[in-house]
A and B are shown apart, each in its own frame.
Chain A
Amino acid sequence: MTSTTSAPPAQQPKSRPGDRIFAGTAKGAGILILIILAGVAVFLISESVPALTAPADEIPGDGGLASYIWPLIFGTLLSATIALLVATPLAVAIALFITFYAPRKLAAGLGYVVDLLAAIPSIVYGFWGIFWLAPRLVPFYRWLEENLGFIPFFVGPVSSSGRTMLTIGLVLAVMILPIVSAISREVFSQVPTLHTEAALALGATRWEMIKMAVIPYGKSGVIGGSMLGLGRALGETMAVAIILSGSAAGITWALITSANPQTIAANIALEFPESTGLAVNTLIASGLALFLITLLVNMLARWVVSRRADFSGAN
């Protein structure tokens, strides 16, 4: 009897301490991330409560919480949307060039350079934007005002320093370019060779092959990548705080004047150091709004990607 108890049946693998420790730590890490996320949410909500319940005239700006946060949400969404509109086509074009057009040697180097853009700290983009890009955009903005001033986006007076909503949109576009193009590239490179070769065999040109085989296959991956980029653009703080001249009283669609709506993250960075009491709660409440927006964007991205999970290479 002793021999049967000491030697377990062959079907049941022996549980070694290493297995148990590894399973435990992996499980712990998984639970920890949930706890951290829940902790952040609880903190944001509990610290926002004083601002949510305070009378309107005690909130900075005297107009109540909604009128304080709404222009910030607008500014955040506007800058991120410009960034996305500029970056996505560019990123897709870069990805297509690297995967299908560029010579193999050049492709590897180019992919590396684009990835390198992601490694530049955002404060450096801020300096680049304020000292290099913004002054060079001023003549272009003047031209826009003169020739396209009838469009609400391009009404004057043009900012004399170029630190405008359009500038920050372009800087954010450069910042999110690497992540969008990296994911697009990944998806495009996973297009089954059978599909592309079949398209070419039917007499399609390279462009037709991309249109018929690559784009439909990679669409969801590109959308997922842009949503991740959007998440970064929404939360970008330092570059916006440095570059953007956020002095608008409320909502404005003008993109090239000195009066622009501020973004949530930049506003927190600018106002927090000298804030006390309810002003801090108000800032945290605006942070909660940003948290919810990014959560929505990420969930949307998940949903889009999972909807086409069968085709996508992103899962």
Chain B
Amino acid sequence: MSAALAATLALAACGASNEETDPATAAEGGSGEELSGTLVGAGASSQQAAMQGWTAGYSSIQPDVTVNYDPIGSGGGREQFLAGGTDFAGSDAALDEEELAQAEERCGEAGIFELANYIAPIAVVYNLEGVDELNLSPEVLAGIFNQEITNWNDPAIAADNPDATLPDLPITPVNRSDESGTTENFTEYLVAAAGDAWPHEASGDWPVSGGEAAQGTSGVVSAVSAGNGSIGYADLSQAGDLGVANIGVGEEFVEPTAEAAAAVVENSETLEGRGEYDFAIELARDTTESGNYPIVLISYHVGCVEYEDQETADLVADFMSYAVSEEGQQAAAEAAGSAPISDNLREQAQGAIDAITAAG
């Protein structure tokens, strides 16, 4: 209630001639009014850089609101949110059935919202002297990372790249040595798109042993840079001077761009049988649609549709509005190199945000 009162007072103070404002209408006004308080979130470290962009941008709009985001990891973020320790969670994966049941206890009948507000394309980066453009179909990509295709002059690679002169050089596949969401999304893609060429399960821990393993995105990028003939996967924004492979989608090869990454998220199906504002999606990893880049990492914002107090509801709604806004997505893109969400997704997300209320 205190925020509503504060908002009322603030409005009253601003316009002295105004009539007394009803607290309820003032609180539901959404953005535009002055809010104050602290918003606490925790979760995925993947969106930490974007979150820094959001909190910095948001503080210029709402200087009295402090947003604290603890990048403890997706699992920990969901756990803390469901236990009531935080106001919202950042998570690379949607809640599973068990967690949805817990969410009902945390948020009540109204349920939760899950918004895919952070989209980051994962690029396949390579270091190969004399080859400026490289096309890789999903099967070839899986073969390389499964260490079945071990030389750059392999006929399978040549078939994808008829114009390139491929050297006789061993391939060094580089993977993450730490458990990571990037690896999880990359293997998920290989499972969905490569068929039998990728016999492993999707996992945050790299499933194939014997490759070059490096710590973190920066470690992978530096390992690929260090060795001629290396290939790895990393966040597109971190690819730097390395070559970036075009990935086979349907009949064509798609370059990883922000637009192509946002397109695949927009064309993905929302998961059925969840709450009205639960926009958890089943990423169309095996898409054949033109201009879609299927190797993306998405990170959700998870929160309650109905909060116990008005202050939290206002803060969450206002901050989320900013995060999905064009300005907010731009701030994230600058801070983290993420792909801004499409207008359709924004509209969908805004619908959920407008529905956020306080109980009683």
Contacts and interface: CB of A to CB of B under 8 A. Distances in A.
B212 A161 contact: yes
Interface residues on B, range: 20 to 34
A259 B210 contact: yes
B328 interface: no
B212 A274 contact: no
Interface stretch (A86-94, A96-104, A170-178, A238-246): A238-246
B211 interface: yes
Contacts of B213: 245-247, 258
Contact of A161 (B179, B204, B226): B226
A274 B215 CA distance: 13
B45 interface: yes
Interface in A129-185: 130-131, 134-135, 138, 157, 159-163
Contacts of B222: 130-131
Contacts of A270: 177-179, 215
Contacts of A60: 205
A72 to B, nearest CB: 13
Interface in A229-272: 241-242, 245-249, 258-259, 262, 270-271
A292 B179 CA distance: 26
Interface in B212-255: 212-215, 219, 222-223, 226-230
A203 interface: no
Nearest to A130: B222
A134 B226 contact: yes
B73 A258 contact: no
Interface in A257-296: 258-259, 262, 270-271, 273-276
Contacts of B181: 274
Nearest to B184: A274
A274 B227 contact: no
Residue picked from A135, A161, A271, most chain B C-beta under 10 Å: A161
Given A242-B215, A245-B223, A248-B210, A274 B177 contact: no
Contacts of A242: 215, 219
Nearest to B181: A274
A274 B178 contact: yes
Contacts of A249: 209-210
Nearest to B171: A160
A248 B178 CA distance: 14
B209 A259 contact: yes
A160 B212 contact: yes
A161 B172 contact: yes
Contact of A259 (B179, B211, B214, B219): B211
Nearest to A271: B179
A245 B75 CA distance: 26
A134 B170 CA distance: 19
Contacts of A163: 212, 214, 223, 226
Contacts of B204: 274
B180 interface: yes
Between B172, B215, B226, B228, the greatest number of chain A beta carbons within 10 A of the residue's beta carbon is seen for: B215
A281 to B, nearest CB: 15
Contacts of A259: 209-211
Given A245-B177, A248-B209, A274 B172 contact: no
Contacts of A157: 170
A247 B226 contact: no
A86 B76 CA distance: 43
A258 B172 contact: yes
B175 interface: yes
Nearest to A157: B170
A161 B172 CA distance: 9
A300 to B, nearest CB: 31
A270 B172 CA distance: 21
B206 interface: yes
A247 B201 CA distance: 17
B226 A162 contact: yes
B209 to A, nearest CB: 4
Contact of B177 (A134, A135, A246, A273): A246
Nearest to B211: A247
Interface in A52-76: 60
A247 B219 contact: no
B180 to A, nearest CB: 7
A130 B76 CA distance: 32
Contacts of A161: 172, 212, 223, 226-227, 230
Interface in B90-130: none
Interface in B132-180: 170, 172, 175, 177-180
B211 A160 contact: no
B75 A274 contact: yes
Interface string B170-198: 10100101111100000000000000000
Contacts of A248: 209-210
Interface in B22-61: 45
21 contacts: A135-B226, A160-B172, A160-B212, A160-B230, A161-B172, A161-B212, A161-B226, A161-B227, A161-B230, A163-B214, A163-B223, A245-B213, A245-B214, A245-B223, A247-B206, A248-B210, A258-B172, A262-B177, A271-B205, A273-B179, A274-B178
Interface of B: 45, 73-76, 79, 170, 172, 175, 177-181, 204-206, 209-215, 219, 222-223, 226-230
Given A162-B226, A273-B179, 17 more contacts: A134-B226, A159-B227, A160-B170, A161-B172, A161-B230, A163-B212, A163-B223, A241-B177, A241-B215, A245-B213, A246-B177, A247-B210, A248-B209, A258-B212, A262-B177, A274-B179, A275-B179
Per CB-CB distance, the 10 closest pairs between chain A and chain B, nearest first, are A160-B227, A249-B209, A247-B213, A161-B226, A270-B178, A274-B179, A258-B212, A259-B210, A161-B227, A276-B75
